[in-house]
């Protein structure tokens, strides 16, 4: 059999069909729900979502029929998209001269006698295929059923267009992941290449001060001190930046059970605190299950900030753990430090955002630590927030998924 006609915009229509990049799986529940509804609305035993390509018609969803594809010349959907109207109905194919000898009509088992196909028309007026209902006996649709079938057809088009948008997003995500990997590699290489020259600058400054101490005046000594301080600051910046990128790949599935208070004690040992400080651990210890390395880094950053940004004779830090919630553990770190201005609290978790010129040791922050903390908390399935009063202190509260 040959089609009597093809759509006027066939070349553009075929390009449009390919552009949507639909897969041929019939297991997508979103499409299957629509064919189920089509059968229910029209009281028909069969419904298909067809995509019409150059030589073949394949079915994204099939209700009541076990069929994946058909030759285009044999498909009723081909007649539907070649029709000028947006719906094509044949109430009795056995009485229609165009189909009387059609193999699907003459079939001994379950012949196609009634057919109604709503064209799937995209925003550029391309007929991609049809949403059709089929019966094995003569039948008809009333106006309400036709109206509802057309509405379902529009929903199919929205699903197809959404599929295309999702495909583009996945492609963009893959490209971003690839670029991010390249940037991380580049940043890591540059950082490591810079470490040795910086170490040499720090060492050279110390040697010059010691060896030529009597020959250099106070102004020259200050210059050397500035060189050393700047080199140390840049070295710290590089280490923090590397830490930020390296911990972006923390595996949240790499979990273990451990004592929270023991972890805190290890963090305090690592910090080797030189200032007058009192850190209050939770009164009751709990075992928690999460990524230990990630939580250790979070606590290191938060407690370090509590130590650095504090102007009190004694630094007081309270760490609290709440395990009573069903889905998350909640941890807070409270200090009696300098606090954070309200207008700055919203941006402190952004990369490279700083809130103070220098800390108590005269060092400038790089705006990386809290950004790293936020990223790690997110990786652990939680959120972080801050409450602070200038001159009184700050409380950082974060959650981690159980």
Q: What is the pLDDT of residue 361?
A: 59
For residue 398, name the pLDDT band (cuts at 50, 70, 90): very high
User: How do residues 195-244 score in pLDDT, each as one tens digit?
Assistant: 777 778 888 888 888 888 888 888 888 888 888 777 776 776 666 666 66
Q: What is the pLDDT of residue 363?
A: 63
Indicate the pTM of the whole model.
0.52
- Tell whether the model's pLDDT for residue 181 goes beyond 90: no
Mean per-residue pLDDT of the chain: 87
For residue 44, name the pLDDT band (cuts at 50, 70, 90): very high
Ordered domains of the chain (ranges, CATH)? 10-170 (3.30.450.40), 250-402 (3.30.565.10)
Q: Say if strands 127-135 and 46-52 run parallel, antiparallel, or are unpaired.
A: antiparallel
What's phi and psi for 306, nearest 5 deg?
Answer: -60, -35
Mean pLDDT to the nearest integer, 41-57: 96
For residue 383, name the pLDDT band (cuts at 50, 70, 90): very high
Q: Which of 34-48, 67-81, 351-365, 377-391 has the lowest mean pLDDT?
A: 351-365
Query: Residues of the chain with pLDDT > 70: what percent?
Result: 88
Q: What is the pLDDT of residue 362?
A: 59
- Specify the residue for token string 């009387």: 100
C-alpha 6/C-alpha 79 separation (Å) is 8
Q: Is 333 helix (H, G, I), strand (E, B) or coil?
A: strand
- Tell whether the model's pLDDT for residue 81 goes beyond 60: yes
What's phi and psi for 258, nearest 5 deg?
Answer: -155, 165
């Amino acid at each position: 059999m040959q089609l009597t006609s093809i759509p006027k915009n066939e070349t553009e229509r075929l390009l449009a069909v390919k552009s949507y990049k639909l897969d041929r799986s019939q297991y997508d529940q979103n499409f299957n729900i629509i064919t189920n509804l089509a059968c229910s609305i029209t009281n028909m035993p069969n419904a298909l979502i067809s995509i019409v390509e150059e030589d073949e018609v394949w079915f994204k969803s099939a209700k009541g029929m076990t069929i994946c594809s058909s030759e285009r010349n044999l498909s009723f959907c081909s007649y539907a998209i070649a029709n000028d109207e947006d719906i094509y109905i044949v109430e009795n194919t056995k009485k229609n001269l165009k189909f009387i000898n059609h193999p699907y009509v003459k079939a001994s088992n379950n012949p196609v006698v009634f057919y109604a196909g709503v064209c799937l028309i995209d925003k550029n007026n391309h007929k991609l295929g049809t949403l059709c209902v089929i019966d094995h006996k003569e039948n008809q649709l009333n106006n309400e059923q036709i109206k509802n079938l057309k509405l379902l057809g529009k929903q199919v088009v929205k699903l197809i267009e959404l599929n295309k948008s999702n495909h583009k997003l996945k492609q963009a995500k893959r490209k971003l992941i690839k670029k991010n990997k390249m940037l991380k590699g580049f940043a890591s290489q540059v950082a490591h290449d810079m470490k040795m020259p910086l170490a040499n600058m720090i060492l050279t400054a110390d040697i010059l001060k010691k060896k030529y101490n009597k020959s250099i005046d106070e102004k020259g000594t200050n210059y050397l001190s500035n060189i050393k301080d700047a080199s140390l600051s840049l070295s710290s910046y590089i280490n923090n930046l590397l830490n930020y990128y390296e911990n972006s790949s923390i595996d949240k599935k790499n979990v273990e059970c451990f004592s929270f208070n023991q972890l805190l004690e290890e963090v305090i040992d690592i910090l080797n605190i030189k200032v007058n400080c009192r850190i209050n651990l939770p009164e009751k210890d709990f075992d928690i299950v999460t990524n230990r390395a990630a939580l250790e880094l979070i606590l290191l950053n938060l407690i370090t900030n509590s130590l650095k940004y504090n102007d009190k004779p004694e630094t007081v830090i309270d760490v609290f753990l709440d395990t009573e919630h069903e889905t998350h553990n909640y941890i807070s770190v409270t200090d009696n430090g300098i606090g954070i201005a309200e207008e700055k609290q919203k941006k402190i978790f952004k990369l490279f955002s700083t809130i103070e010129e220098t800390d108590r040791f005269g060092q400038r922050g790089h705006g990386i630590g809290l950004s790293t903390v936020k990223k790690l908390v997110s990786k652990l399935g939680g959120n972080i927030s801050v409450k602070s009063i200038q001159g009184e202190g700050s409380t950082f509260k974060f959650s981690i998924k159980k």
